[in-house]
Structure 1
Amino acid sequence: MHKPGEIRVLALGLVKDIERVFLSQGYDPGKQETFYRAMGGGVEFGETSRDALQREFYEEIQAEITNIRYLDCIESLFTYNNKPGHEILFVYQCDFVDPKFYQIDTLDFKEGKRKKTALWVESNAFKTGEFKLVPEQFLKYL
């Protein structure tokens, strides 16, 4: 768990399949709002963002990823559960090694002690504003 006032460094990976993107679903109790974010997690000391990305995908959903391509580094200032947050995001595009991940609709996993859901979402749902993608800068990669 991160401390208040701490800047978190994360590696996030966008997996796309034609008009769909594989994302983690979240809920902000402060805003009472569902949102979606690319899979990934924190970069540990001494670990590259690329290595962190591969480790996080494996830890969370037991998935190996390939064709890892660096896209961007984004600084994200946000509010979650009525508390300010600050993250530096290393953004990658990648593919699943195992084709079974392209066949599933939803996948439940644990992030620490929290239960989460990952799922395929139509990219257009974010472009039309039907669903919320965080951070919004990710829209340009869909």
Structure 2
Amino acid sequence: MDDLVSIRCVADHFELPVSTLHYWERRGLLTPHRRSGRRYYDADQLYRIALIRLWRVTGQLSLDEIAGALSGVATRTPADDWRETVTARIAVIEDRLAQLDTARRYLRGLLDCPRDGALDRCEGFRAQVTLPAAEPR
């Protein structure tokens, strides 16, 4: 246990509040070593923290998804295969990217509308909107 890093050093390095590390521990995501009641992390736990932070920030995984993925990493059992979690998240992200691409194209099209008119009267805007058919009288 000589190569342990204090919780304060870990929090500062990963730009996390100490309370986040405490919370992740309560959730069962981390298992720090204890010395005189203080938390310290070994290299395996530091890599785990880096992975959790990466997944939270860039992968947009929930803590429940992370817990499931990490249990698969720890146990290496087929039932807890972390690849399923990652594959599912990739699908969600790809859907979101498609939505954002559509929104970007739509908003760029709005920039072609004249500045002096109301946006709902803009020909470009109206051309992009499908209206319901009028009901017969």
RCO higher in structure (CA 8 A, sep ≥6): 1
Structure number having the greater strand percentage: 1
